[in-house]
Copies of this chain bind each other. A is one copy, B any other.
Amino acid sequence: MMRADAPLGVFDSGLGGLTVVRALRAALPNERIVYLGDTARVPYGTKGSNTVVKYALSCARYLVGENVKALVIACNTVSAVAPERLRVELDVPVLGVVEPGARAALAATKTGRIGVLATAGTIGSLAYPRAVAQMSTRAEVVGQAAPLLVPLAEEGWVEGEVPRLVVRRYLEPLACAGVDVVVLGCTHYPILRPLIESEVHARVGHHVAVVDSAHATANDVRSFLLARELANPRPCSTDSVRLIVTDLPRTFREVASRFLGDDVGEVEQVDL
């Protein structure tokens, strides 16, 4: 039996999932969060689906061992290839980011032509076209793998000529296809959002919307907890976010402090 005062478990390959944590804290201020970043094996998006499933299972099992009341997969690559397997193997509700992202894209498109920037793993899985097709028969997804954006975000090269040229190259096929929405189909990409947005407006079209799945995911998690009476009715005490990584906790702490906007306390390290 899950308890409403248990924490939410959130995991990602690295630091990208913090974009989802930020949205969860805004939508669900009463909740405690245990975040696991698999920094020893980042990136996931360039790897094969069997490998990603194996890594995702080890992350998820660790969080289940921490008695979380639900698991949020804050990683598009894992959400694209692993959620069914996690649901079969684990006795805890599992929520991903692909469905909320697809829903946000459908809400934003007028023409039905949706562009998705994501990792090679996510694009290859066809998870976005499948999710969109389940919600609408009048929309079409144009996917573009963008493998260099994760290393750029992880290195903090988020402005200047290099990321600009990289983003421009990845946007070209989406501009040719005439999309009117660009989905940031990887939770790392919002770290590059100002640059991506300005390039989308300059190169794809000034009317083109950029959407990410963080807010849509947080709203889904909120609805889910309310429906199951699993939302924490009382404000949580201090230290509402616990951060755990598989490598380099100090580096992660610096980035996380900057990213979540306040001091994040110690970052723990575990060996999976």
Number of copies: 2
> Whole-angstrom distance from the CB of A203 to the nearest CB of chain B?
15
A166 touches B162 (CB 8 A): yes
CA distance A125 to B10 in the complex (A): 33
Query: A84 in the interface, Cβ–Cβ < 8 Å?
Result: no
Query: A173 in the interface, Cβ–Cβ < 8 Å?
Result: no
> Whole-angstrom distance from the CB of A54 to the nearest CB of chain B?
8
- A residues contacting the other copy or chain, number (CB 8 A): 24
CA distance A154 to B155 in the complex (A): 16
Interface residues of A (CB under 8 A from B): 39-42, 46-48, 50-51, 147-148, 151-152, 154-155, 157, 161-162, 165-166, 169, 246-248
A-B contact pairs, 25 of them (CB 8 A): A39-B47, A40-B41, A40-B47, A40-B48, A40-B51, A42-B46, A46-B154, A47-B247, A47-B248, A48-B247, A48-B248, A51-B246, A51-B247, A147-B151, A148-B148, A148-B151, A148-B152, A148-B155, A148-B157, A148-B162, A151-B151, A162-B162, A162-B165, A162-B166, A162-B169
Other 8 A-B pairs with CB < 8 A, given A48-B247, A148-B148, A162-B162: A40-B51, A41-B41, A47-B247, A148-B151, A148-B152, A161-B165, A162-B166, A165-B165
> Considering the complex of A and B, which 6 residue pairs feature the smallest CB-CB distances, nearest first?
A151-B151, A51-B247, A40-B51, A48-B248, A48-B247, A162-B165
